[in-house]
């Protein structure tokens, strides 16, 4: 009689524990294998809870907190502090009619959110600046920067400020607010979703139409391709080498290093946003588009209407307008634009290079607004033909120039790169450069061509994905995963925005 002997199935509990606990060297990201497996298990339970709204919201919130734990360890308690304090303050503010009390309450929210952000992100920056005043020696404090703290504090602040402005009624259920602030697709790197856009969706019956599912798969495929194929490959194999030692390379190599970084940062940022939007669609929620072909912009103003839209609109609505916007005369308007972008640069990181980057964009926005007023052009004016072509080229190169300061951690590195481009260009090296890095330039060409495609092409691809049967959609995703495995580096590259 035949006897089938199965090997004993032994689970390495230590290894499993190591995988499921926080690892500072391997934060969980959408493009990792661990997230894929966890999301599959999550989706099964999510479907089982389809008709049990409260249980589903609680389950997603717990998973979101675990997701944040896998990104920042036990600092997930900061997320809880921000959530509970703003929920209670908003309810208190709504019940208060006295103007000065409402201002005091919203100031408490500002102090809690910005206080946490300033401590974890800017303590060492200000300490380094102030240390010489008392003739002290600067020794950086060992302060951990929780992933995504800039995003969830801004998102929660938008809620309390909207309640203060009476644009929004506060939630009465703490679980709903926990769900809103911690929803994992956008938790650690955006987009910054406004309460007035997201909260009405929370208690809606869960329904994912075939159109939403197909769009979700399309956004996930698009984002994964941008991040794991284009951004990671050109970063590891070209861009990092140039920026780490710009003095060792010719001006031509430095220039293409800048072009490479412009594409890398776009594919990294928009790739995460695309995946977040896609995952949210699969779960029955809609996020606003966060990037709209920014390198097609024909002015710096147009660029900021297309680049990281959730951040630029947040800065406009809660900082620029609060400073007075364009209501206090032209000079004040230009100053407000400059200050808004200066703070926007500081938001990206506690370093002078980010402040310079923001300041350059602030000056450019003010200059563009001034020139447009001199020419008497309407707000919605758009150049056409050759004028638009040259305006797009000029805007793109200004943005690339600013990326030099954004990417380099020292002004010496930025100065070296600019000096090499203008004094040691050496175009005769083009043949060697393109031969040695042909794979990099092939991917860069693909990336820029896809970016330059008309919007209707992307819409056609999205409709094509929607029409595909489920098996076809799964096959596209499998083929992309296989492509990612072929081009990926030995280590998973974290998203750039994780540092912000």
Question: Which residue is it, tokens 């407000």?
Answer: 336
Q: What's the rounded Cα separation, in Å, for the pair 212 and 277? A: 11
CB neighbours of residue 127 within 10 Å? 15
**Alpha-carbon separation of residue 493 from 16, 236, 354 (angstroms):** 22, 9, 22
Residues 364-372: contacts with CB within 8 Å, 24+ apart? 364/300, 364/398, 365/300, 365/301, 365/304, 365/337, 365/338, 365/341, 366/333, 366/334, 366/335, 366/337, 366/338, 368/299, 368/300, 368/301, 369/301, 369/333, 369/334, 369/337, 370/330, 370/334
Residues 404-412: contacts with CB under 8 Å, at least 24 apart: 404/258, 405/353, 405/356, 405/357, 405/360, 406/265, 406/348, 406/353, 406/354, 406/357, 407/243, 407/261, 407/265, 408/243, 408/353, 409/351, 409/353, 410/353, 411/352, 411/353, 411/356
At a CB cut-off of 8 Å and minimum separation 6, what does 360 contact? Answer: 401, 402, 405
348 is catalytic: yes
* Cβ contacts of 253 within 8 Å, gap of 6 or more: 242, 429, 433
Q: Is 180 helix (H, G, I), strand (E, B) or coil?
A: helix
Phi, psi angle pair for 165, to nearest 5°: -80, 0
Going by C-alpha positions, the residue among 33, 467, 452, 37 that lies closest to residue 215 is 467
In the numeric block, the tokens 């799964």 are attached to: 474
Residue-level length of the chain: 500
Interior CA angle at 342 toward 373 and 106, to 5°? 105
Structure-block tokens of residue 338: 């400059």
Q: Which of 305, 348, 361, 451 is catalytic?
A: 348
- Alpha helical stretches, state H, 245-349: 251-282, 300-306, 309-315, 330-348
Listed in sequence order, the DSSP H helices in 168-228 are 174-182, 195-202, 210-224
Taken in order 479, 484, 486, 491, the sign of the CA dihedral is negative
Expressed in angstroms, the distance from the first to the final Cα of the chain is: 65
Phi, psi (degrees; rounded to nearest 5) at 206: -70, 120
State both tokens at 288: 């606003």
Residues catalogued as catalytic:
348
């Amino acid at each position: 009689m035949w006897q089938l002997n199965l090997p004993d199935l032994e689970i390495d509990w230590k290894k499993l524990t190591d995988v499921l606990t926080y690892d500072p060297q391997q934060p969980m990201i959408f493009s990792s294998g661990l997230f894929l497996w966890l999301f599959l298990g999550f989706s099964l339970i999510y479907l089982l809870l389809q008709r049990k709204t409260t249980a589903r919201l609680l389950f997603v919130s717990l998973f979101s907190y675990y997701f944040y734990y896998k990104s920042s360890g036990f600092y997930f308690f900061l997320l809880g502090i921000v959530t509970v304090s703003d929920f209670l303050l908003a309810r208190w503010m709504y019940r208060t009619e006295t103007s000065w009390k409402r201002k005091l309450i919203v100031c408490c929210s500002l102090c809690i959110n910005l206080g946490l952000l300033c401590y974890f992100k800017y303590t060492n920056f200000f300490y380094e600046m102030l240390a010489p005043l008392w003739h002290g020696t600067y020794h950086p404090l060992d302060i951990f920067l929780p992933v995504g703290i800039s995003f969830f504090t801004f998102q929660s602040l938008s809620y309390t400020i909207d309640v203060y402005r009476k644009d929004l009624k506060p939630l009465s259920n703490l679980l709903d607010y926990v769900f809103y602030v911690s929803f994992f697709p956008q938790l650690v790197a955006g987009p910054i979703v406004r309460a007035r856009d997201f909260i009405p969706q929370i208690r809606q019956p869960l329904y994912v139409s075939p159109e939403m599912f197909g769009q979700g798969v399309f956004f996930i495929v698009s984002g994964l391709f941008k991040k794991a194929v284009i951004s990671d490959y050109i970063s590891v194999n070209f861009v990092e080498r140039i920026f780490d030692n710009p003095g060792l390379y010719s001006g031509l190599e430095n220039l293409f290093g800048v072009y490479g970084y412009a594409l890398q940062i776009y594919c990294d940022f928009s790739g995460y946003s695309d995946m977040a939007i896609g995952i949210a669609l699969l779960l029955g929620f809609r996020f606003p588009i966060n990037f709209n072909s920014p390198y097609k912009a024909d002015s710096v103003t147009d660029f900021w209407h297309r680049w990281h839209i959730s951040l630029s609109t947040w800065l406009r609505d809660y900082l620029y307008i609060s400073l007075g916007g364009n209501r206090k005369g032209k000079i004040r308007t230009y100053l407000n634009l400059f200050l808004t972008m200066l703070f926007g640069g500081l938001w990206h990181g506690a370093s002078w290079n980010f402040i310079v980057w923001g300041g350059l964009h602030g000056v450019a926005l003010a200059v563009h607004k001034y020139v447009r007023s001199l020419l008497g052009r309407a707000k919605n004016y758009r150049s056409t033909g050759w004028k638009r072509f040259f305006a797009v080229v000029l805007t793109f190169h200004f943005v690339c120039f600013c990326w030099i300061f954004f990417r380099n951690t020292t002004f010496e590195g930025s100065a070296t790169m600019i000096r090499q481009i203008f004094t040691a260009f050496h175009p005769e090296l083009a043949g060697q450069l393109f031969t040695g890095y042909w794979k990099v330039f092939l991917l860069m060409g693909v990336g820029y061509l896809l970016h330059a495609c008309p919007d209707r092409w992307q819409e056609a691809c999205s409709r094509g994905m929607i029409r595909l049967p489920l098996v076809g959609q799964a096959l596209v995703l499998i083929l992309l995963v296989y492509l990612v495995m072929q081009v990926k580096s030995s280590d998973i590259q974290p998203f750039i925005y994780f540092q912000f």
